[in-house]
């Protein structure tokens, strides 16, 4: 089996997504691959942020705009370097996490996508679909689902 050339990993800034970044960085480092860390976000005004905080509580950080996404990517980049990745790129992408990851995979001609398993074992994930299950079905490349919870 040939080594991976481009590894894409998604993060939303949560501890579980950072565990996926660590694993992806190790794979990329071992393969000599470029690691592309992706953070999807939705631009939001003050009213939308307050509503998201009311509805989502601690999870609202996922929808508050590009500045938190850029902060998340900087933290993930530091973790990836410590975990062994040599060539690291980042991408903050406006939109749905599944669509954003698929777009980056296609744009970068990635051959591996890494995501955490968060959402796979929840009721909402089973009914509505979760990021890991959706990217596994739709990505068209190898998918590594990291056990993070």
pTM: 0.79
- Which residue(s) pair with 92 in the sheet? 39
Domain assignment present for 99: yes
Is residue 54 over pLDDT 50?
yes
Q: What's the chain's average pLDDT? A: 80
Tokens standing for 69?
């996404």
d(CA 105, CA 107): 6
Number of structural domains (the chain) is 1
d(CA 149, CA 146): 9
Domain that holds residue 86: 6-146
Read off the CATH number of the domain in which 60 is found.
3.40.50.620
Instruction: For residue 28, give Cα distances in angstroms to 23, 52, 98, 107, 138.
Output: 9, 35, 21, 18, 22
Using one digit for the tens of pLDDT, what is the confidence trace for 95-114? 888 889 999 999 999 999 99
Query: How many H helices and E strands in the chain?
Result: 6, 5
d(CA 91, CA 88): 10
Domain assignment present for 1: no
Is residue 70 over pLDDT 70?
yes
Helices (H), the chain: 15-31, 46-56, 66-82, 97-107, 123-128, 131-138
């Amino acid at each position: 089996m040939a080594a991976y050339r481009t590894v894409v990993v998604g993060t939303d800034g949560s501890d579980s997504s950072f565990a996926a970044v660590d694993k992806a960085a190790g794979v990329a480092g071992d393969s000599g691959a470029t690691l592309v860390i992706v953070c999807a976000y939705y631009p939001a005004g003050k009213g939308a942020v307050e509503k998201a905080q009311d509805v989502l509580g601690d999870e609202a950080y996922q929808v508050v705009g590009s500045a938190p996404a850029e902060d998340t990517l900087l933290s993930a980049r530091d973790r990836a370097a410590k975990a062994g990745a040599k060539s690291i790129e980042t991408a903050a992408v406006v939109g749905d996490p599944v669509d954003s990851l698929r777009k980056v995979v296609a744009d970068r001609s990635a051959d591996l996508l890494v995501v955490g398993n968060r959402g796979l074992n929840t009721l909402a994930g089973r009914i509505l679909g979760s990021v890991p299950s959706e990217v596994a079905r739709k990505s068209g490349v190898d998918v590594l689902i990291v056990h993070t919870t």
